[in-house]
Amino acid sequence: MKRVAILIGGGGSNMVALADSMTGDHPARPVLVLSHRPGAGGLDKARARGIPIAVVDHRAFPDRAGFETALTAELEKAAVEVICLAGFMRVLTPGFVTRWAGRILNIHPSLLPKYPGLDTHARALAAGDAEAGCTVHEVTADLDSGPILGEARVPVKPGDTPDTLAARVLEREHRLYPAVLRRFVQGDRTPIILP
C-alpha cells in the first residue's frame, strides 16, 4: 500500500473525496492530512475518518525554508510516499519540489495550461470561454506547469458567475482526483480525460 499525505488549507472537500476512495482494493491509504491553517475545516473531517492530522502554520516561520523543513519533518515522520495537494494554498519552493519529485500531485480549477494561479473561474468567464474544468498534474518547480495527468470539462452556461461555475467544476474535481490518484500509485501516468 502506498502511503498518501493530503495537504489542505480549507474545508477539505477534495481531501474527503480522495480519502473515501482509498478503501478496499485501492493500492493506497491516507496516512496524514496536513494543513498550513490551524482552523481548516478539513482537519475535523480527517479526524472523523480516523486519519492522523498535523498542522504546520506557515505564519509561525520567518521564511519558506523553515516552513518547508517543518513540513518535510511531518511527512517523513508519517513515512509518506505520495503527496496530494488539495486546497493547500502555499507555493512550494524548488528545493521542496525536488525533494519530492515525481511524488506530488495537485488539482487545479482550470483546463491547464489556461489560467494558472488564482481566480480561474472569473478569468474563464471574462474570456468568454465555452467550457471550463479542472486538471490534475504533477507538481514541478514552475507553478501549475507539471505534466497533466487528468482533465474534466464542464460547459460554461449563460448567466454563470464565478461561484456557480466553481460549484460545477468542484463536482468534477471530486471524481477526477481519485481516479488519477488510483492510476498514479499503480505507476500509470496516462492522462485521464473525463467527459
Q: Is 108 a catalytic residue?
A: yes
- Residue of 26, 36, 108, 174 marked catalytic: 108
Would you list the DSSP string of 17-45?
Answer: HHHHHS-TT-SEEEEEEEESSTT-THHHH
CA end-to-end span of the chain: 29
Q: 96: burial class by Cβ within 10 Å (0-12, 13-18, 19+)?
A: buried
Would you list the DSSP string of 146-177?
Answer: SPEEEEEEEEPPTT--HHHHHHHHHHHHHHHH
Residues assigned a catalytic role: 108
